[in-house]
Chain A
Amino acid sequence: MASTPGGFAGKVLRVDLSTGRTSTEDTVERYADVLGGTGLGYRVLWDEVPAGTKPFDPANKLVFATGVLAGTSVPCSGRTAITTVFPSCWPRALVGSGHMGGQFAAKLKYAGYDAVILEGRAERPVWLFIRDGRVELRDAARLWGHGIRRATLEISQEMGADCCVAAIGQAGEKLAPLATVVNSLSHSAGGVGGVMGSKNLKAIGVQGSGGVRIAGDMEQWGRLVRFHLSILGANNQHVVPAFPSREAEYYNPGSRWVGEPGRRWGAAEPPVEITGSIRDMNRIAYRTNSAAFFLGERAWKHTVRGNGCTSCPVRCHTTLKVPAVAAKYGVRDTAQGTCIALNFGRFFFPTLPDGPKGQAALEACMLGMIMADDMGIWSNYGQLQRDFIKLFKDGVLKAKLGAAEYAAIPWDKWRAGDPAFLLDLVPRIGERRGELGFVLGEGVGGPFDRWGIAEETWEADHATTYWKMGHPKHHANEDDGQCGVIINTQYNRDAQCHSHTNFVRNGLPLHEQKRLAGEIWGSPDSVDAPGQYTPMNPHKARRAKWALLRKELHDCLGLCNWMGPWVASPLKERGYRGDNSLESRFYSLATGRALDREGLDEAGERVFTLHRALTIRDMGARDMRALHDRVPRWVYEDPKGAQPFTPGAIRMDRADMALAMDQFYALMGWDKDTGAPTREAYARLGLDDVGRELAAKGLVPGGKDGGQG
């Protein structure tokens, strides 16, 4: 038997749901230059999905793709990217990807596959059985109409306990653009569940008995893994604890490193007390408690443990047990989640009786996690909740819902901050019941299209944090000035980029951040203190480009961009340096193909540019600067009239942002006027075929031939 290539599992599985035919292709031969993950997904969409394909057309494809480092012992390497024509992108669906952690990526690789390409549409509900080389479509009639939890448990019973199930809930079945795919019960990929539903595919169960071969020296590999562990902080790579510690020179009350000796996981059986050194590599999992970060002190006594992804010691999916929710609301007493999914229920309420960290908030979080992760509802990074609140406050719901439907909604519970309100609202969305459930499940494009609300209304209201194209900002100017704004202009959904914010929020004092920034991006001026922004400079553009390319690179390699990059560390003895070359060092050892940092970053740039090309092709326009890279009005306004660059003002300056985009486009090798890649940029990145095709359509700067005759 021939040995598999290092890092890659070696095969891509293709499943035609219309015919039931399955086939495989060689990953390295076909996709090595785009690495895997989103790169593989973009390549499939470019080659196989024609412009104008709608998300729920059988011609759309859904690409579950892991990366070279998934399934290995690299920390934080449990990610799967699911790429498709993204349904919540408004007013026109464009390429996008949802991302999930959990155990799916590793299991898929152990089964021998780097990716699964799903195409066509099954005649009736099915689920996909993958056990190593055995691939079958099985009947899902008994699962259809039921939640993700039931699908997961039933398939697990059928396959065995060591399988991993990625499933959709009712929201996906009913083609809600705001639907998730969820694996391992709480690890969700947003926006792609409806596409899976449109293919009549309820779930994928995967089980593998293989492994991932590391091509390089295993001793070197082991040393590098241990080094990576040594530079890890807590969730979001916060490298200082939230509390003063004997073992740390710095602390930051805003840090997600909340676990300290003396704290207890009170709902563990028996309860676990955190002891020992906060620096101990075998105790990294105690650093993070997402529930305590978001909900405060009371979460500790309800904490069972930290759950998380394969190979990740950070364990950001905190498992909570709250018996009161079982007694009061008749649901399970245990749930797990992190970040926006953990807050799904709480964020529907403008106010809660005992504040945002009180008992009602905790119960709302529990109900939200339990119901959203079962019905497979995506919050669109909290836009769903903000839309709901704004639609109510602006009187839109009263005006647009029928009188009977409006009257049937228990508004008194909502006003009172009673979590029981969620028992009414969430199933409406998941099952797309009534006008409210249908429209909210559409995403923000729902109210725009169906209720005639102008997008400008949302763009002008900072409280919505709406950015563009149906999605909100995701760590923009409030965190990182011009860098944050540039990053938020680039994708067709919320940016999901954490490269920049994980650095500015890492907890180190400003002088340390600036010192590191000088080393990494060429100038301390590439970083500002939050809300104390200085005018644009080329170093900030360089950092924005770095942040985007690392995000894309992580999405290709199976690494978690919620945790990385790892350019800062908790290690005083290293001057708080992390390692800007970590990804390329792992890639080189895993694959046996030596690529330095610049080389791997260039591969990330290739993938990012392919995303740009797909966007240009599918929009049928090359003027990205005017039509795509938009910035909402609220970014340029300050409620108190503060001027840009005054301390405490996050409003940006239009001329300065125009300069920022100029500088970013120049660094990318894109045309300044249109923000479209040039033929040279495509050629430099090995995307000449892409440049040629776009040039033939007049979608490259310089006219029909892209300036190349």
Chain B
Amino acid sequence: MKRAVLVAVRASSRAGRLIGLADVRAAVLALAAESPDGPPDQAELTDERLAGLLAAHPGVAAFASVSGEALYHAPDLLSRTYARILDRRGSPALLMAEEIRANSRDYPRPVPVELFEAEPFGLSRADIEAALKTLAADPECADISFVESSGGAAFLFSERFLPRGYAQFLAERAESLAENP
């Protein structure tokens, strides 16, 4: 069983998908159907039992998704950062806000708006505009702001982690990297 849950999570991560307990259970059953031992006792496949097996495995990571459901992935195949992005893709405003905050906090840096057009974000310009309007109207997201580089590119940052002047400097620096080989 331990091996089966790991196989399920790894297969899912390899395919670039997150997996919840229901899908883990289904995968375990599918695997078991091919086994000479036959399917396991359904009573053994409780959420608690599966969650316990997954939590005990060092190669599996879990987090609470936007919907509140626990999702699993194998970080060596699907990184934590990427997993969070995948989970938030259905909520563009949240996706952008959290990504902007993480970048401002950790690196630190503002991010170019076009970042969100590329995969894995994959937002259209209209999606981005709409998300930015949502963020601007949400007091919880009052920290999300933008600066414009002298080259005219817009960069987003969180005032919670980056003073505006520093964000401006970092935006100019990001733009100048291709001029400063």
Contact = CB atoms under 8 A, between A and B. Distances in A.
B85 A244 contact: yes
Interface in B94-123: 106-109, 111-112, 115, 118-121
B38 interface: no
Contacts of A532: 108, 166
A478 B180 contact: yes
Contacts of A249: 75, 79-81
Contacts of A530: 170, 173
A185 B169 CA distance: 38
A130 B78 CA distance: 53
Interface in A625-678: 642, 646-650
B151 interface: yes
A509 B151 contact: no
B166 A340 contact: no
Interface residues of A, number: 43
A251 interface: yes
Nearest to A290: B181
Contacts of B173: 478, 530-531
B63 interface: no
A243 B118 contact: yes
B112 A251 contact: no
B165 interface: yes
Contacts of B177: 254, 505
A505 B166 CA distance: 17
A246 B82 contact: yes
A509 B181 contact: no
Nearest to B102: A509
Contacts of A295: 178
Contacts of A294: 178, 181
Contacts of B32: none
A209 to B, nearest CB: 37
Given A294-B178, A530-B173, A531-B173, A246 B77 contact: yes
Given A253-B115, A293-B178, A531-B173, A245 B106 contact: no
A509 B107 contact: yes
A530 B112 CA distance: 18
Contacts of A244: 81-82, 85, 120-121
A247 B174 CA distance: 24
B16 interface: yes
A648 B163 contact: yes
Contacts of A251: 81
Contacts of A293: 178
A207 interface: no
B34 interface: no
Contact of B165 (A342, A479, A509, A648): A648
A510 to B, nearest CB: 6
A647 B82 contact: no
A218 B75 CA distance: 35
B140 interface: no
A183 interface: no
Interface of A: 243-254, 262, 293-295, 339-340, 342-343, 347, 355-357, 475, 478-479, 505, 509-511, 529-532, 572-573, 642, 646-650
Given A249-B81, A342-B181, A505-B177, 13 more contacts: A244-B85, A244-B120, A245-B79, A294-B178, A294-B181, A479-B180, A509-B106, A510-B108, A529-B108, A531-B166, A532-B166, A572-B75, A572-B76
Sorted nearest first, the 5 A-B pairs with minimum C-beta distance are: A648-B169, A647-B166, A339-B181, A509-B106, A648-B166
